[in-house]
Amino acid sequence: MVAPGVAAAQRSRASGAALAEARRFLCPHGGTPMRGGRCRPGTGADPDVTGWDRDLPAPSHAQAPCPPGTRAAGTAQPGVTRCVPG
């Protein structure tokens, strides 16, 4: 026997729009939510984020100097510089 509240909760289903919104929130890059808090990569890109990096320069994989108006602050990780206002 199942309690009345549990039976009603099991019968209710979220709408397709609500499920799509939840997927977009949990996996913003077009993936599918999985157990354990991870996202399975999507088969296609979300049109809202496609090309966000188009005008950025290629990564140099080297520490860049802090931009004007900021200063370097130490971190617990060797070789890493954190730029903070000041």
Measured from the Cβ of residue 30, the count of other Cβ atoms closer than 10 Å reads 18
Q: What is the pLDDT of residue 5?
A: 58
pLDDT at site 70:
95
Alpha-carbon radius of gyration of the chain: 22
Task: Report residue 2 CA to chain centroid gap.
Answer: 38
Which residues of the chain register pLDDT less than 50? none
- Res 56: pLDDT: 83
Q: What is the pLDDT of residue 11?
A: 62
